[in-house]
């Protein structure tokens, strides 16, 4: 495509929002696109795609261009140029691209391939953690996490089926395919603003990765049950649980951030779900009132988010060892305190979107060693390198006694 300076300047502005001002990549791109409604679909796709690529490959791109003391517009303008060269796009003869020689850049990239931290664009400390916890598997996972995330829908079975939805989407020009990983999932064959589809506005589907769609069925819910989703957020898994329960029974959706629950209530109305009660966690009393009341409990706990780096590549630059240590403490506290919500004979799922054993099976093993009333029935890992979707862990446990 023909490049225009305003496009590259806008891309640079989004990168400044992300790296200097700490904004999430998806929010920075969304703000950029909303502020320029006259851009065509091609320009919008170019901006979104290239912003994410710069975020994902920042360390490699900087190594190819040479060090820069400032994270300013000129810096990200040049990184965009390096990224385009790697995609075999011919750059215009602009002053901003002075000194960017394609042959030199490709040769340098070959020489940097021996250093995984640069070649895969990952912070040193995170590479050390991944190697320590996953060993030889880390390299495969890291390569998979640097791929672009698929756009995956979950058919809302309260209103349609995956098969019927696939036909309806095709009639709108959205081709999709099934995946054996999740029975209600459809993987779109092209990217675009799927939220403009009338089918979305009717509540026929939600955007949800295929790996994420494995968690709600793992809880083994049935219609009529009393279920607690204790870390509900904006409620993607609560909505999935409601569909699996055929809108019968009750789901109590909890979260410490009330605004997320407000978003859940909007989504529930669109999905035709009426069994979800949204309750903000205001104090420990909120949890104590629910002790011994739930047939099923979902603990989709806060985590590093390393399993979803392909979707949120900016996270690897914002994470730190201190945060990882802190979040592991939070996980241990949550499973210890919230597990009391499950009644004897009930079941719970502990889940994360991480691929690190220290956040996953080791947390479960620590909990079970301290809580003899629970037994582990099953566990599952969703691997980006193995299944090709986001990474998740889930463990199913049963409370066998008081």
**pTM confidence score:** 0.95
* Per-residue 3-state assignment (H helix, E strand, C coil) for 157-168: CCCCCHHHHHHH
Question: d(Cα 399, Cα 295) in Å, to the nearest integer?
Answer: 10
Residue 93 CB contacts under 8 Å (≥ 6 apart), including other chains: none
pLDDT for 148 equals 93
30 token code pair? 């969304």
Strand partners for 347 = 296, 398
Question: d(Cα 102, Cα 82) in Å, to the nearest integer?
Answer: 8
| Alpha carbons within 13 A on the beta-carbon side of 82 | 26
Pairing of strands 342-352, 374-382: unpaired
Question: d(Cα 384, Cα 308) in Å, to the nearest integer?
Answer: 9
Question: d(Cα 351, Cα 329) in Å, to the nearest integer?
Answer: 15
Given a contact cutoff of 8 angstroms between Cβ atoms, the answer to whether 301 and 350 are in contact is yes
Given a contact cutoff of 8 angstroms between Cβ atoms, the answer to whether 129 and 242 are in contact is no
Instruction: For the chain, list the domains and their CATH numbers.
Output: 5-121 (1.10.940), 152-207 (3.30.70.1170), 212-399 (3.40.50.150)
* Per-residue 3-state assignment (H helix, E strand, C coil) for the chain: CCCCHHHHHHHHHHHHHHHCCCCCHHHHHHHHHHCCCCCCHHHHHHHHHHHHHHHHCHHHHHHHHCCCCCCCHHHHHHHHHHHHHHCCCCCCCCHHHCCCCHHHHHHHHHHHCCCHHHHCCCCHHHHHHHHHHHCCHHHHHHHHHCCCCCCEEEECCCCCCHHHHHHHHHHCCCCEEEECCEEEEEEECCCCCHHHCHHHHCCCEEECCCCHHHHHHHCCCCCCCEEEECCCCCCHHHHHHHHHCCCCCEEEEEECCHHHHHHHHHHHHHHCCCCEEEEECCCHHHHHCCCCCEEEEEEECCCCCHHHCCCCCCHHHHCCHHHHHHHHHHHHHHHHHHHHHEEEEEEEEEEECCCCHHHCHHHHHHHHHHCCCEEEEEEEEECHHHHCCCCEEEEEEEECCC
| Alpha carbons within 13 A on the beta-carbon side of 211 | 26
pLDDT for 1 equals 65
Pairing of strands 374-382, 176-179: unpaired
pLDDT in tens, the chain (402 residues): 678 888 899 999 999 999 999 999 999 998 888 888 888 888 888 999 999 999 999 999 999 998 776 778 899 999 999 999 999 999 999 998 999 999 999 999 999 999 999 999 999 999 999 999 999 999 999 999 999 999 999 999 999 999 999 999 999 999 999 999 999 999 999 988 899 999 999 999 999 999 999 999 999 999 999 999 999 999 999 999 999 999 999 999 999 999 999 999 999 999 999 999 999 999 999 999 999 999 999 999 999 999 999 999 999 999 999 999 999 999 999 999 999 999 999 999 999 999 999 999 999 999 999 999 999 999 999 999 999 999 999 999 999 998
Question: d(Cα 58, Cα 122) in Å, to the nearest integer?
Answer: 9
């Amino acid at each position: 495509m023909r490049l225009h300076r305003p496009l590259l300047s806008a891309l640079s502005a989004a990168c400044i929002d992300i790296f200097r001002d700490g904004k999430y990549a998806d929010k920075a791109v969304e703000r950029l696109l909303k502020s320029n409604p006259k851009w065509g679909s091609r320009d919008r796709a170019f901006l979104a795609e290239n912003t994410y690529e710069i975020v994902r490959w920042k360390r490699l791109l900087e190594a190819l261009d040479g060090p820069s003391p400032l994270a300013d517009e000129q810096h990200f303008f040049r990184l965009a140029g390096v990224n385009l060269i790697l995609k075999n796009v011919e750059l215009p003869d602009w002053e901003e691209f002075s000194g960017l020689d394609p042959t030199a850049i490709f040769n340098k990239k070959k020489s940097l391939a021996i250093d995984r931290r640069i070649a895969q664009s990952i912070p040193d400390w995170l590479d050390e953690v991944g190697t320590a916890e996953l060993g030889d598997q880390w390299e495969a996972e890291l390569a998979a996490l640097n791929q672009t995330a698929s756009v995956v829908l979950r058919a809302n079975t309260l209103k349609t089926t995956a098969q019927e939805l696939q036909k309806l989407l095709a009639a709108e020009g959205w081709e999709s395919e099934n995946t054996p990983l999740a029975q209600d999932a459809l993987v779109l064959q092209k990217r675009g603003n799927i939220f403009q589809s009338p089918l979305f506005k009717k509540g026929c589907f939600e955007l949800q990765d295929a790996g994420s769609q494995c968690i709600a069925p793992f809880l083994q819910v049935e219609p009529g049950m009393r279920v607690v989703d204790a870390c509900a957020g904006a409620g993607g898994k609560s909505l999935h649980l409601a569909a699996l329960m055929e809108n019968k029974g009750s789901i109590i959706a909890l979260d410490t951030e009330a605004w997320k629950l407000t978003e859940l209530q909007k989504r529930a109305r669109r999905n035709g779900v009426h069994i979800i009660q949204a309750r903000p966690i205001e104090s420990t009393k909120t949890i104590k009132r629910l002790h011994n009341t739930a047939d099923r409990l979902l603990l989709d706990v806060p985590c590093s988010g390393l399993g979803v780096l392909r979707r949120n590549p900016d996270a690897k630059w914002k994470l730190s060892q201190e945060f990882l240590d802190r979040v592991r403490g939070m996980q241990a506290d949550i499973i210890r305190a919230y597990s009391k919500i499950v009644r004897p004979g009930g079941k719970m799922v502990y889940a994360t979107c991480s691929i690190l054993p220290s956040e996953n099976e080791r947390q479960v093993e620590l909990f079970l060693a301290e809580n003899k009333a629970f037994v582990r029935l099953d566990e599952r890992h969703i691997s980006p390198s193995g299944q090709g979707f986001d990474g998740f862990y889930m463990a199913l446990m049963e409370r066998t006694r008081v």
